[in-house]
Amino acid sequence: MTIFSLGLDELRQRRSLKWQTFDPDVLPLWVAEMDVAMLAPVREELEAAFDRGDTGYPAGTSYPEAFADLAAASWDWQVDAATQIRRGGDVMNSILCVIEAVTDPGDGIVINTPVYPPFHQVASGYRRRLVDVPLTADGRLDPAALEETFSSQRPKAYLLCSPHNPTGTVHTAEELAAVAALCERYGVTLIVDEIHACLVDPGTTFVPALTVPGAERAVMITSAGKAWNLAGFKAGLYVVGPEATDLFDRLPPLASQSTGHLAAMAHAAALRLGREWIDQVGAEIADHKELLAGLLASLVPGAEYVVRPGTYLAWVDCTALGLDEPARHFLDSGRVAFSPGHNFGSEHRQWVRVNLATSPAIITQAVERMASSLRGR
Ligand SMILES: Cc1ncc(COP(=O)(O)O)c(C=O)c1O
């Protein structure tokens, strides 16, 4: 039995953003929600809480401890839940709280376009200066360009996405160490979003940023929200390097109070009891990437897709198709919704992001719709 086997009739009952934004004839492969049933142990945890009427405020440290256990088992990373981890609200709001603590209005914050759109908003929407150091053409970090920017623009923080959304790049230990060293040298606070950490293809090693030399003062934000499809339950974690524990005293006063009690229970259950499940997700997603690559090669040969090992997202270059706005074209003429590239970076208008956390049948239908929308143009 595969995890990504839900059919359209079932999925169209959902009330979430992915399924409610477009008309019912549109296939939605856009926002990062997964077309999966809830993991059984998470459901059991929540049902037990409902039975107890246990809907108050969160207590205790079982969510941070569940993360520390997973980090030790998955990445051989010994992180001390008591001193290095605190609960937060969702991941983006936790990042916002860190930015509030380590920068002032007007300060520069570095991002690497193309990147998850709220990364642009947490800087420019909150009176900080957005400083872009684009990924290289093959989707990698560019330490030389980062150094040049750190020295000329003197940013205060660097918001790194690891693994990278939308390209699926998994940064290497060497790249992360180079970045951490630069941050130390130029006094830039390294803030790493690792919400996609557990979503890597089999055989790929994810390296937690806080494990590389030089990252002792870095901050990482995560949750089980992406990998276990729990975005509806708001609960993030602040994880700090061993020399950054003072950050907890500098966070805004309510930074650790917006965790939902049910959410913390759901995320902790996923981290503790959903490890085999996530391995199967990784294997199925790797197959979906190959499926997409094959379908595009035969049905939409102008669309270029480089398979990368992180996330369940595919970043597809549609430049050769000669469309004004590819995502708009595929929506209007193909009735299939992808995320438009320009949301991720102004240089990427010709790209679309495809969400592969769905069934092979839906992926196949989506590419067939792309192909038919291009016929007779
Ligand atoms: C890199 C990244 N960070 C954060 C989020 C959102 O997390 P949250 O809903 O916990 O704010 C997403 C969602 O897709 C994401 O891709």
Ligand 1 atom showing the smallest separation from residue 234 Cα: 10
Mutate to test the pocket of ligand 1, among 98, 112, 165 (most ligand atoms within 8 A of CB): 165
Q: Measured in angstroms, how far is the CA atom of residue 204 from the centroid of ligand 1?
A: 21
Contacts of 147 (CB under 8 A, 6+ apart): 182, 186
Taking the C-alpha atoms of residue 31 and residue 25, their distance in angstroms, rounded to an integer, is 17
Residue pair 219/233 in contact by the 8 Å Cβ criterion = no
Distance 91 CA to ligand 1 centre (A): 6
Angle between helices 360-374 and 275-299 (to 10 degrees): 20
State how far the alpha carbon of 182 is from the alpha carbons of 193, 196, 214, in Å: 18, 24, 9
Q: Which atom of ligand 1 is nearest to the CA of 89?
A: 10
Ranges of beta strands (E only) in 41-138 are 85-88, 108-111, 129-132
Using the mean position of ligand 1's atoms as its centre, give its distance from the Cα of residue 15 in Å.
19
d(CA 346, CA 351): 10
309 φ, ψ to 5°? -85, -5
Can you give the pLDDT at residue 377? Answer: 73
Q: Write down the pLDDT at residue 376.
A: 67
Report angle CA 54, 56, 62 to the nearest 5 degrees.
Answer: 75
Task: Tell me how far the alpha carbon of residue 282 lies from the centroid of ligand 1, in angstroms.
Answer: 18
Nearest protein CA to atom 13 of ligand 1, as residue: 32
- pLDDT tens for each residue of the chain, 377 residues long: 899 999 999 999 999 999 999 999 999 999 999 999 999 999 999 999 999 999 999 999 999 999 999 999 999 999 999 999 999 999 999 999 999 999 999 999 999 999 999 999 998 888 999 999 999 999 999 999 999 999 999 999 999 999 999 999 999 999 999 999 999 999 999 999 999 999 999 999 999 999 999 999 999 999 999 999 999 999 999 999 999 999 999 999 888 888 999 999 999 999 999 999 999 999 999 999 999 999 999 999 999 999 999 999 999 999 999 999 999 999 999 999 999 999 999 999 999 999 999 999 999 999 999 999 999 67
Domains of the chain: 8-38+275-374 (3.90.1150.10), 42-273 (3.40.640.10)
Strands 236-240 and 85-88: antiparallel
Tell me which residue has tokens 């205060």: 156
52 Cα–ligand 1 center, Å? 31
Q: How far is the CA of 304 from the centre of ligand 1 (A)?
A: 25
Name all residues whose Cβ lies below 6 A of ligand 1.
32, 90-92, 116, 161, 165, 193, 195, 223, 225-226, 231, 236
254 by DSSP, 3-state: which? coil
Q: So what's the pLDDT on residue 125? A: 84
Rounded Cα distance between 336 and 35, Å, is 16
Probe residue for ligand 1, chosen from 165, 195, 343 as the CB with the greatest number of ligand atoms within 8 Å: 195
- Nearest ligand 1 atom to the CA of 225 is 10
- Give counts: helices (H), strands (E), the chain: 14, 13
Between strands 336-337 and 27-28, the pairing is parallel
Written as one letter, the residue type at 111 is I
Q: What is the pLDDT of residue 267?
A: 98
Its sign, for the CA torsion 335, 305, 229, 368, is: positive
- Tokens for 297, please give them: 């090669």
Distance of CA 373 from the midpoint of ligand 1 (Å): 31
